[in-house]
Homo-oligomer: A and B are copies of this chain.
Amino acid sequence: MPLTAADCARLDAGPDAPAFAALRERFAPGTPGTVYLDANSIGPMPLAAPARVQAALDAGWRVARRRSWNEFDWLDQPRALGQALAGVLGAGPDDVRVGESTTVNQYRLLRLALTLKAPRRVIVAERDVFSSNRYAAQGIAHAGLAELRLVPQADAAALAQALAPGDVAVVALSHVDYRHSLRLDMAALTAQAQAAGALALWDLSHSAGAVAVDLRGSAADLALGCGYKYLCGGPGAPSFVYAHPRWQDAAWPAICGWMGHADTFAFEHDYRPAAGMDGFLVGTPAVLANAAFSAAADLWRGIDPALLDARHRSLTDTLDTLVAQQCGALGVEVSSPREHARRGGHVALRFAHAGALAQALVAHGVVVSARKPDALRLGVHPLTTTHAELWQAVQVLRSLLEAGAWRDPRYQGSSV
């Protein structure tokens, strides 16, 4: 039986409704009537974020100036933010730090893995992984520091074959594919990599903050992810890094900086890595960005990952079903997996003119994104999206498909 608007309203009024309504109220509303399905690009803004940034600007930058380093503990932000994110990542309380950009972190964790597993020098990565991850690995290979072995995504036989020679230092995987939202089995693939003597490095950009992630439980070696998607850290927020405790004190980092030194302000002559995850820090914290991120961090500290995951499942199951029922005959196909455990943050549709259709949707108040060649991405956020919004979005999608709106010349331009 087709899902109805009333069904969606009922789902929004379930037993968890008060808890999610309270969470939703801790985010700033966007334009009324607009449905934001772009948490895979930029997650929603916590209501407290502007005041946090304002305090860093005014009490910090304007008034206290350099005294802020001490008075406002600005140098502690990378640790404080990491501790707040630990729960939703399934990490130990002190396993995470926030700092630097996602690509820089991909680079330095790859380099660290190569160091830890020397003389092995092969990086195994997915052929169609998010470009910047592949480029970081290609740069390392281009410099002669590794050999890059690419495998098709989610191809167990190919991965086994790639691991077989016994020369693989690290298998670098995206927990969730940025195009079609395939979520990999972190525990199984980590075990497969480790059984072959390699480390497993996970990019959580499209899962962290959307679905339950279990870094410790899956025994993942290293991980990182974007701060500004589902984690709601703010546009361009610093990335996070994770290392299993067995690797936290293991090696010099590729990029040594003063914040990762055992005694930063002693200005010792020789680099000496700090113990634990502090050794993963590099440069001065991005203070203003971290102030914005702190608002989201306060939210994450109180989130039960199981509840988050259940809410995400309910939303994406609903969206998946609505699209299939209402648009299945109109040329779009749900390309993200039907099974929630195999689906990441966004629901993906395959459509030959995904870019133009995304622009038409945006023009009609449904904020989505596309990725070449054919992925339309609907990035729900479990803490803010409602089932009623998904109903609304699918009505718009259906009417645009029926009207052939993707053919409109207005929607043929390039879009990020």
Contact = CB atoms under 8 A, between A and B. Distances in A.
Interface string A278-303: 00001111111110100000000000
Nearest to A128: B269
Contact of A131 (B49, B66, B252, B258): B258
A119 to B, nearest CB: 12
Interface string A201-232: 00000000000000000000000001010000
A41 B65 contact: yes
A69 B268 CA distance: 42
A24 interface: no
B57 A45 contact: yes
Interface stretch (A99-107, A185-193, A401-409): A99-107
A134 interface: yes
Contact of A138 (B57, B67, B135, B271): B271
Contacts of A135: 256-258, 260-261, 271
A74 B236 contact: yes
A344 to B, nearest CB: 17
A229 to B, nearest CB: 10
A171 to B, nearest CB: 19
Interface in A56-111: 56-58, 60-63, 65-70, 74-75, 99-104, 107, 111
Contacts of A330: none
A143 B70 CA distance: 34
Given A42-B65, A56-B235, A66-B42, A104 B49 contact: no
Interface in A264-322: 264-271, 282-290, 292
Given A49-B57, A57-B292, A68 B235 contact: yes
A38 interface: yes
Interface stretch (A15-23, A28-36, A159-167): A28-36
A352 interface: no
Q: Most B CB atoms within 10 A — which of A75, A252, A269, A289?
A: A289
A136 interface: yes
A167 to B, nearest CB: 19
A292 B30 CA distance: 22
Contacts of A267: 131, 371-372
Nearest to A107: B255
A124 interface: no
Interface string A104-129: 10010001000100000000000100
A127 B228 CA distance: 39
A415 interface: yes
Nearest to A257: B103
Nearest to A41: B66
A342 to B, nearest CB: 23
B288 A235 contact: yes
Given A45-B57, A57-B292, 9 more contacts: A38-B66, A42-B65, A42-B68, A70-B416, A139-B253, A142-B271, A145-B145, A235-B287, A267-B371
